[in-house]
Amino acid sequence: MIHKYKLFDMNIVLDIYSGAVHVVDDCMYDMLDYLLEPFTAERECPSFIVDEMSKKYSVDDIKESYNEICELVKNGQLFTDDCYEEFAKNWNKKSVVKALCLHIAHDCNLRCKYCFAGTGEYHGKRGMMSAETGKQAIDFVIANSGNRKNIEIDFFGGEPLMNFDVVKEITKYAEEQGEKHGKVFRFTITTNGILLDEDKKKFINEHMSNIVLSLDGRKEVNDFMRPKVNGSGTYDDILPKFLDIAESRNQTNYYVRGTFTAYNKDFANDVLHFADLGFKQTSVEPVVAPETEDYALTADDIPEVFEQYEKLAEEYIKRWKSGNWFNFFHFMIDLDQGPCAIKRLSGCGAGHEYLAVAANGDLYPCHQFVGNKDFLMGSVKDGNFDKKISKYFEDSNIYTKDKCRNCFAKFYCSGGCSANAYNFNGDINKPYELACEFEKKRVECAIAIEAAKKLG
Amino acid sequence: MKHVKTLNKANLKESAVMGGCGECQTSCQSACKTSCTVANQKCENAHE
């Protein structure tokens, strides 16, 4: 299976099952339209191809292109077979739990209009996680992580800084227990910054490998969607703190992360606003919301969103070339040393490798399922969790999703977000189409950026 | 080759044989939380 597209004056060809990325000239690009899979190399270019293409290209170029295509096929770089499907069918993953998202606070000091957690309470009662529950979560992950060494803990909310003493206690407990049990804990915290101060910054910088700073971009964009409880804006309060903590972490191991909605479809300007402010690690993602919401993105928005990704990618390349680099999460791609095929088959790990712990200790497949009783898996308090739900998620991979079968992006997105699939289509194996469209465009842009960098 | 520049090692199949150690980061922990973005994760063993 191949995918070819043109972007930024390059003809890009992806060989899906080998992961090869090629930039080809016009002659080879056009020739690929005549070649069907499974491809069988002939001694020389078939005459009907020569006849057709010689209207536009020289016969020498046509024959050379054909020979080079045959060479790529021989080297396993083009029209490669799918060798993963059989493997996926008989896959006994034996997953272990390696990451927890701890809902430190089911409460928030902002009233963001698009929050999937309601306004922090996850459609249940407001409440804080106790240190005891947090420690039980640490015991739970140690007990269920098998031989896995690296364990990730994300302090999430609501707003985790509203319950920071507990964050500190859990962190210290995890570090102590990690040493005893041969585990390395890596901590992330996601915050809106309102309560960020010097003490918290110091603790976060000493203990956390990543911090996600929630901000949507330009002041008017941010303040419209992310007001305080009293309705006032947050940008002016938060920005200096975020700039400060980003600098204090040497502009690495953090993301300033926003959401774009129907109210800022020109989101490339928000990403560039971050970059202009001096942030080097950025992420701005499409809102996920039912079409009934006024801020939701819909299929009608696809052309504009695509245009924005291209605009952003073009500027991204320009800034990289001029030495004024910044990183955009969704354009990060490593063509040589990205994740292995096994990881790409199986996706994010929600429900079996990655679980969310609600403030009261209840376990769910991921943060987006918290509060949905159909997906309540158990509790860290007794340490048991529902293996049937876990298996349902474990068995899901790109080969259990029909929509992924002929999609070129399947090894880049791994079949998409299970929660989005469930929320829109009622089945974790039926991906949410709008997210698929955006993802495909991002993958195309990300690869084109790498191509532009490599080709100078 | 004259008509094509190949930009990478095309090692996905090889990674299937060698891979699956499971030590890599859970993708949702880095920044996304609302989208599955796997290809931008690093392999923990990439530089060993």
ipTM of this complex: 0.92
DSSP track, A260-326: E-GGGS-THHHHHHHHHHT-SEEEEEE----TTSTT---GGGHHHHHHHHHHHHHHHHHHHHTT---
Q: Which residue has the tokens 């057709």?
A: A52
Backbone angles phi, psi at A403, to 5 degrees: -65, -20
CA distance B45 to chain A (A): 9
Whether the link from the prior residue into A38 is cis, omega within 30° of 0, is yes
- Judged by a CB distance cut-off of 8 A, whether residue A411 touches chain B is yes
pLDDT band at B28 (very low <50, low <70, confident <90, very high): confident
Question: Which chain A residue has its CA at the smallest distance from B9's CA?
Answer: A336
Nearest to B10 among A76, A150, A283 (CB): A76
Residue B47 has pLDDT above 60, yes or no: no
- The residue type found at A12 is I
Q: How far is CA A161 from CA A103, A150, A197, A247, B13, in A?
A: 11, 25, 10, 20, 44
What's the rounded Cα separation, in Å, for the pair A342 and A87? 10
Selected residue of B9, B18, B30 to mutate for chain A interface (largest A Cβ count, 10 A): B30
pTM, 2 dp: 0.96
Element (H, E) at A106: strand A105-106
Nearest to A455 among B5, B29, B37 (CB): B5
Element (H, E) at A418: helix A418-425
> Distance from CA of residue A87 to its chain's centroid?
25
> Degrees (nearest 5) of the Cα angle A117, A122, A123?
115
Size of interface A-B (CB pairs under 8 A): 213
Nearest to B30 among A21, A210, A342 (CB): A210
Contacts of A122 (CB under 8 A, 6+ apart): A103, A106, A158, A358, A370, A371
Over A112-152, what HEC string results?
CCCCCCCCCCCCCCCEECCHHHHHHHHHHHHHCCCCCCEEE
What's the rounded Cα separation, in Å, for the pair A98 and A152? 6
* pLDDT attached to residue B46: 66
Residues from chain B that touch A413, judged by Cβ atoms under 8 A, are: 35-39
Residue B48 has pLDDT above 50, yes or no: no
Mean pLDDT split into 10-residue runs, chain A, 456 residues: 98 97 98 96 97 98 98 97 88 89 95 85 86 98 96 95 98 98 96 98 97 97 96 97 98 96 98 98 95 97 98 98 95 88 89 96 96 96 93 94 96 93 97 96 97 94
- Judged by a CB distance cut-off of 8 A, whether residue A416 touches chain B is yes
> Degrees (nearest 5) of the Cα angle A304, A308, A309?
120
